[in-house]
Amino acid sequence: MDLFEEIVKMRRAGRRAALATIVHTNGSIPSYESSRMLVREDGSIAGTIGGGCVEAEVWAAAKEVMQKESPRKMVFNLNNEASYDSGLICGGTLEVFVEPILPQPVVYLFGGGHVSTAVAKAAGAAGFGISVVDDREAFANKERFPMAHEIYTSYEDGFEKIRPNASSYLVIVTRGHKEDMRVLAWAVRTEARYIGMIGSKRKVLSVYKALENEGCKPEEFERVYAPMGLEIGALSPEEIAISIVAELIAVRRNAESGTHKKLKYASRPAAVHSVNER
């Protein structure tokens, strides 16, 4: 199997992996330098870096590398230790570089207005793929979004065809509360890495309350970033876009600041009034 062809296939399918490469050997270690092993998200492997306990340790590290999305270098001092078997008990040092293989993150813009066009430009420059969903063809088209990989001209079509995963970022910037509610009700039940909705705190809470009345559970909103975007005092569409994309990057890179804008929402029972209350 060609590992690089497999990596291309996996990235296109939106799946993660980790690639382990022997980058340096020293001593009487057999000639394994440049050997590679691909560890998939489900734990299966392709290729080899020599087998034995070294490979087992690298496999375990690869799972962590995928989780943290951060590379790692491992050094094994073999020195005739019996624990390192399968032909590697020869003395010397072995260095293995383990790097994450991640699909391109994709921003799905629900709404094609001025903020969305600015977000598309900034997010595209930051390495995100762009897809657009809007039920107005005048707003969802290649002229407004030349960088978009996919354009959907109805929300129903988008809900049916989009399959959010750990590399999906859903940005809700529709033209009104009604469309925001439709998209959010669908989004919170997906596996998207990020779900964000624009609007004031008052608007966000009113949307949550309306969706709860329609059957959504309050805990489903815990993963929503709303009001969306880092607080930088943004006013113009371009400034708002920068605040939103900065938040997307913070989430993608696991920065602590990525969680500070989530609103706490708790369902409250309706008040009970006695017959004498006015």
CATH code (residue 143): 3.40.50.720
Q: What residues make up the domain containing 75?
A: 3-101
Q: Which helix (DSSP H) or strand (DSSP E) does residue 60 occupy?
A: helix 52-68
155 shares a domain with 80: no
Classify strands 72-77 and 92-101 as parallel, antiparallel or unpaired. Answer: antiparallel
Q: What pLDDT, on a 0 to 100 scale, did the predictor assign at position 32? A: 64
Higher per-residue confidence, 223 vs 92? 223
Average pLDDT over the chain, rounded to an integer:
87
Indicate if 213 and 235 belong to the same structural domain: yes
pLDDT in tens, 218-227: 999 999 999 9
Which H or E element spans position 171? strand 168-172
* Residue 226 CB partners (closer than 8 Å, separation 6+): 196, 197, 198, 199, 204, 261, 262, 263
Domain end, chosen from 78, 101, 124, is at: 101
Total number of domains constituting the chain: 2
Strands (E), the chain: 17-27, 36-40, 45-47, 72-77, 92-101, 106-110, 129-133, 150-152, 168-172, 194-197, 224-225
pLDDT in tens, 221-250: 999 999 999 999 999 999 999 999 999 999
Are 76 and 96 within 8 A, CB to CB?
A: yes
Signed CA dihedral, 110, 116, 119, 120: sign only: positive
Which pLDDT score, from 0 to 100, does residue 246 have?
A: 97
Q: Which helix (H) or strand (E) holds 74?
A: strand 72-77
Mean pLDDT of 97-104: 94
**pLDDT surpassing 70 at residue 90:** no
Q: Count Cβ atoms below 10 Å from residue 189 Cβ, excluding itself.
A: 11
How much is the pLDDT for 22?
A: 92
- CA distances from residue 99 to 72, 134, 152, 213 in whole angstroms, order as listed: 7, 37, 34, 46
pLDDT of residue 191: 94
130 and 84 inside one domain: no
| pLDDT on residue 68 | 87
Q: What is the pTM of this model?
A: 0.79
Bridge partners of 109, per DSSP, are 132, 171
The residue type at 229: G
**Segment among 35-49, 66-80, 187-201, 203-217 with least mean pLDDT:** 66-80
Please check whether residues 56 and 146 belong to one and the same domain. Answer: no
Domain end position, chosen among 64, 84, 101: 101
Strands 194-197 and 72-77: unpaired
pLDDT at 139 over 90: yes
Examine the pLDDT at 160 and tell me if it is beyond 80: yes
Same domain, 110 and 169: yes
pLDDT band at 36 (very low <50, low <70, confident <90, very high): very high
Longest distance between any two alpha carbons in the chain, whole Å: 92
Which whole number is the average pLDDT over 28-46?
82
